[in-house]
Chains A and B, each alone.
Chain A
Amino acid sequence: MGFMMTLSTILATLASPIAALAQSEAAHAASQEAGHAAEHVAHAAEKIEAIAAPGVGPMWLLLIPVLPLVGFVLSALCAAFRVKSKLPAWLTVLCLGASFAVTLGMYLQVSSGQIANPSVATGFEWIKVAWGAGDAHSIIANFGLYIDSLTCLWMLFVTGLATLIGLYASEYMAGDVGAGYCRFYAAFNLFVFSMSCLVMGDNLLLLYLGWEGVGLCSYLLIGYFYKKPSAVEAGKKAFIVNRIGDLGLALGLMLTAVHFGSIEYSVIFAKAQPYLAALSEGRLGDIPAVVQLIPVLLMIGAFGKSAQLPLYVWLPDAMEGPTPVSALIHAATMVTAGVYLVARAYPLFLLSETALPIVAWTGALTALLAATIGMAQFDIKRIMAYSTVSQLGYMFAGLGVLTSTGAAFHVFTHAFFKAMLFLSCGAVMHGFAGQLDLRKLSGVGSMPGWRVVGIAMLVGCLNLAGFPVITSGYWSKDMILGGAFANPHMVAIGWILLITAGLTAYYTFRVYFRVFVGPKYFEPGDEVHGHAGDDHGHDHGHDHAHADHGDRGHGHDAHAHFHPHAPGWAINTVLAILAVAAFAVIGLRFVGGHEGWVSGLIEHSSANYGGHAMYAAAASHGGEHAHATFFGYDAHQAMMYVSGVVGFIGIAVAFVLHYAGRTTAAKSRADALLPLVGPLAKWAQGKWYVDELYNAIIRVPLLVAAHVFHLIDKAIVDGIVDLFGWVPKFTGSSLRPSQSGVLHGYALSMAGGLAVLVLIVVMVMR
């Protein structure tokens, strides 16, 4: 019952914003056509004013993070009492659904103005250190929530997707009931709690708490199958690489605190106001270098969490975790935290001359690099992981080219379709005993019982590839591309992203054409054997296959005992909802703000698009804002066609190479082309050997240093200490023979001593 209620809530909540915003579509469509520059300046001045004065939020908003925490506690209690049912899943879905409902309420109230945008709801005082008189000499980090439309945007898809994926996982993880099920859900809830803290925290330290909290949950969930050394390693890698980023974030936080005297957003934004004014007036010299340094440091944290160059290496490995985790944490929500951070601290980023270009270039290069790697992989989940990295790169590039709306919109759409892609892959993995190699699967979509998965996959792929017009991915990606080409300094970024778009379309449909259509073929993965005796493996596929014996077609004689088991209702339902949602969010492009619903939200938040104008104004020292064009056409409009064509080409290439005339699972026409690119394909498949490079230049030297230090510690540091002990010991032991117990020795030394003594006396006496 509880589940049905939750489900209806979800459906209602998904539908309502679209419906609500559809009404105001006309108004915003009008504003969309209006000129940009002048309006943006006006926006900026107005919005920054608004940011500076937060209202007081109602306390019930605290329920949003608290409910997942309750879910965590309940799941942990389930674990403590060794519950051997799916109880934790239902509790989780209940808690997260409730949290989503509250979020929705928050959104509605914020959008209707009942809650001030922004506003702060303070829970309790977490850390407060004062070292002098007045607030200037103190650091206050309350457990408080900062509510603005950006928060709403993020929390909506975080809690919404978490609820859905929690539901999905109830079936997906069913094999672990009584074993790791509670653990999974505990970490899952804790993740949502941490993510809420990250997104909703009213100060950077609370964001940092969420930041590290999601890192922990990511660690725990990647290493969920802890008996696999690779999973443990992947979890460790994720945590440590993220910690490097966290260090940057922490230092940025400290620098913020030192410079602004506070880490609360409201205070920071208020104090940044003079700088923003200086920027808009072109007085760049009034902005001290320290302010320009802050975003650079924060950026490092963002790059770590959102898997950007050079810290992206953990994300592909993170696919060792259960697929729901990959979908939620490593595709939809956690990895967008970096985007969130940049968006949240956008005023600070605007103040730096270098920060946003760095963000843009990093994003673009990451997008391209990850796409090239993704093209050459065979593990479909890994391809999705690289595509995530690539799409995150898009988002950063979007932020960097000053289209925070585009970035946020892409985050939003990406969350849905990428989650769906992962969940589809997860379903395949689930059904084929962990098989993820696209050379060993074919025609899955047409197998009985796999129709929903096939469709969902197709929808996801279309979105990811940016299939024109009908997919949300197309619209969001288009916004970023348009933004890039519209910015005269960022045209190169635009070209990189455009190429990447083509590559994306290609590798996405490479997966689809190889796995979901074509001749039916499969080889089951090794998990059916590997985890057979394992408490935590999902070996139930095996049993299930036996139960349905005879009903399903055999894929392969060699695996006569294996039957892929099609997903059940929970998985199918979730996939269906997401597929619908992925299309539905297209509507958001045309409702709400001047560039859609998301832009409406963004413009009322700290990730204010108005900065664009100010920045441009500053760049041209108060002169005319040069609006770049794409070969003479308006960049945004041109991109609608160009990106669509590029996406189409990519899909077409994939069709020719991987579908047309393919008769086996393992071979395709693309193989014939491999010699043409020489070693490039091999290098790409080897991920450009970045892991090996990092290993060689960072890990190995550190390890050597550690061993050397250890040796130094034993030999020198401790050696010196031991030397101090050794000197008396040596003296003693070298004198010991003199204490031989033989009378003569004593007598001799006595006589000698007496002789010397008397000699001294004689010589002194003179």
Chain B
Amino acid sequence: MGCRVSVHGVSGFLLFLNPAGLMGIDAFINPYLFYGAVVLGGLGIAMALPRGGKTAQIVGAVVAALAGVLVLVGLGIKSVASLPNIYFYIFSAIGLGAAVRVISHPRPVYAALYFILTVLSSAGLFLLLSAEFMAMALIIVYAGAILITYLFVIMLATQAPSEARPEELAEYDTVAREPIAATTAGFVLLAVLTSLAFNGMSTLNPPPPGTPDSVLVQIPRKVERVLRGYQVIQKDEKVEGFNRVSGDGVAAIESVIVKNAEGKTREIAKEAWPEELRVRNVEQLGLNLLQDHPGSIEIAGVILLMAMLGAVVLSRRQVQIDEDAKRRHSQTLAETTPQAPGGAA
């Protein structure tokens, strides 16, 4: 009768918290090694952050790198049988290193350039993950478009060095803000996110192989065209359907059923398919995008449109009346506080 939230509820909940949860990553990496490396990495990053030249950033970077190496080695030890290939390590090292540089380099331009490097290396990782299209798209969109815009803005917003004014770094660029707190937060998050992921990952099962072919069911015209192009089928034959075998709940295609003008059907087994009929990444992606997420595309379009409009509106010069108002304001400021700076004018 009645919901009694007793005092025991809260304390019981706290008791339910179990540090052992953090040990659940043992399947992939030795927890002590991992958390130690995370601490180490945090120290390294904290040192690597710019502080007006008061710390040895290089040392920090080295420490951070050491931590990264430790983790990767730790991961590797647990999975010697299925190590990722060497490119993974190369791209990871470049990506992480460049990322550290992005956040530790005092000059925005360099940071942006390092970011391009990160983008490139993650594109490499994408390739390793057989996401060729996305890898390319990433390079084109990010490195090619977004980062260039960034660079434009950086150029706009910084004074070019000249004879009269030698280049000087702004204070806010050279001194990090609350590095310790931020690094702590960041690395605690890193630790717990990784723990979370690793905890759940051990229960994940990869899907049965061959499933990408099932996409062909959705594109019978292409199948027909390719088969006809490779003259596997005759002119008058049309794709009638697909033979499916269902294994483990996932449909896979055994053969294509074609039917000629007389209504005679025959099956073309998988082995007889030309190479081109193999579903490619772009096709899969395109199909997924257009078939499964048509609304999202619309939304993305709207977002882009709004962003464009917004950018136009925002970056337009303010109308004159505002400038007048600002001037008046700065004048009154100047009058009331004699030592006030000259204001926007």
A contacting B, Cβ–Cβ less than 8 Å? yes
Residue B192 CB within 8 A of the other chain: yes
Neighbour of A758 across the interface among B17, B20, B178, B193, CB < 8 A: B193
Residue A744 CB within 8 A of the other chain: yes
Stretch at the interface among B101-109, B181-189, B273-281, B294-302: B181-189
Main secondary structure of the interface of B (DSSP, over half): helix
Q: Is the CB of B18 within 8 A of A763?
A: yes
The CA of A580 and the CA of B2, in the complex, are separated in Å by: 93
Q: Is the CB of B192 within 8 A of A755?
A: yes
Q: Residue-by-residue, is A739-766 near B (CB-CB < 8 Å gives 1, otherwise 0)?
A: 0000010001001101110111111111
Residue B328 CB within 8 A of the other chain: no
Q: Residue-by-residue, is B309-341 near A (CB-CB < 8 Å gives 1, otherwise 0)?
A: 000000000000000000000000000000000
Residue B243 CB within 8 A of the other chain: no
Q: Is the CB of B189 within 8 A of A762?
A: no
Q: Is the CB of A758 within 8 A of B182?
A: no
Q: Is the CB of B17 within 8 A of A751?
A: no
Q: Is the CB of B22 within 8 A of A744?
A: no
A760 neighbours in B (Cβ, 8 Å): 17
Residue B121 CB within 8 A of the other chain: no
| Contact (A754, B178) CB under 8 Å given A764-B16, A766-B18, A766-B20 | no
CB distance from A753 to the nearest CB of B (A): 9
Q: Is the CB of B22 within 8 A of A763?
A: yes
The CA of A760 and the CA of B15, in the complex, are separated in Å by: 11
Residue B199 CB within 8 A of the other chain: yes
Task: Indicate the size class of the contact surface on chain B.
Answer: 20 to 34
Q: Is the CB of B189 within 8 A of A754?
A: yes
B185 neighbours in A (Cβ, 8 Å): 748, 751-752, 755
CB distance from A752 to the nearest CB of B (A): 4
Residue of A nearest to B195 (CB): A762
The CA of A260 and the CA of B181, in the complex, are separated in Å by: 83
The CA of A755 and the CA of B20, in the complex, are separated in Å by: 17
B199 neighbours in A (Cβ, 8 Å): 762, 765-766
Q: Is the CB of A751 within 8 A of B178?
A: no
The CA of A762 and the CA of B196, in the complex, are separated in Å by: 6
Q: Is the CB of B188 within 8 A of A766?
A: no
Residue of B nearest to A760 (CB): B17
Residue B21 CB within 8 A of the other chain: yes
Q: Residue-by-residue, is B240-255 near A (CB-CB < 8 Å gives 1, otherwise 0)?
A: 0000000000000000
Residue B19 CB within 8 A of the other chain: yes
A748 neighbours in B (Cβ, 8 Å): 178, 181-182, 185
Residue of B nearest to A749 (CB): B185
A756 neighbours in B (Cβ, 8 Å): 188
A758 neighbours in B (Cβ, 8 Å): 189, 192-193, 196
Interface centre among B18, B185, B199 (most CB of A within 10 A): B185
CB distance from A755 to the nearest CB of B (A): 4
Residue B74 CB within 8 A of the other chain: no
Residue B97 CB within 8 A of the other chain: no
Q: Residue-by-residue, is B4-40 near A (CB-CB < 8 Å gives 1, otherwise 0)?
A: 0000000000001111111010000000000000000
Residue of B nearest to A759 (CB): B192
B195 neighbours in A (Cβ, 8 Å): 762
The CA of A252 and the CA of B186, in the complex, are separated in Å by: 82
Neighbour of B178 across the interface among A744, A755, A759, A763, CB < 8 A: A744
Q: Is the CB of A764 within 8 A of B196?
A: no
The CA of A754 and the CA of B186, in the complex, are separated in Å by: 10
Q: Residue-by-residue, is B170-198 near A (CB-CB < 8 Å gives 1, otherwise 0)?
A: 00000001100110011011001101100
Enumerate chain B interface residues (CB-CB to A < 8 A). Answer: 16-22, 24, 177-178, 181-182, 185-186, 188-189, 192-193, 195-196, 199-200
Apart from A744-B178, A748-B178, A760-B17, 7 more pairs, CB < 8 Å: A754-B189, A755-B185, A758-B193, A762-B192, A762-B196, A763-B17, A764-B17
> Lowest 8 CB-CB distances: which A-B pairs, in order?
A763-B21, A755-B189, A755-B188, A758-B192, A766-B21, A751-B185, A763-B17, A752-B185
- Can you sample 29 A-B contacts with CB below 8 Å? A744-B177, A744-B178, A744-B182, A748-B178, A748-B181, A748-B185, A751-B182, A751-B185, A752-B181, A752-B188, A755-B185, A755-B188, A755-B189, A755-B192, A758-B192, A759-B188, A759-B192, A761-B196, A762-B22, A762-B192, A762-B195, A763-B18, A764-B16, A765-B24, A765-B196, A765-B199, A766-B20, A766-B21, A766-B199
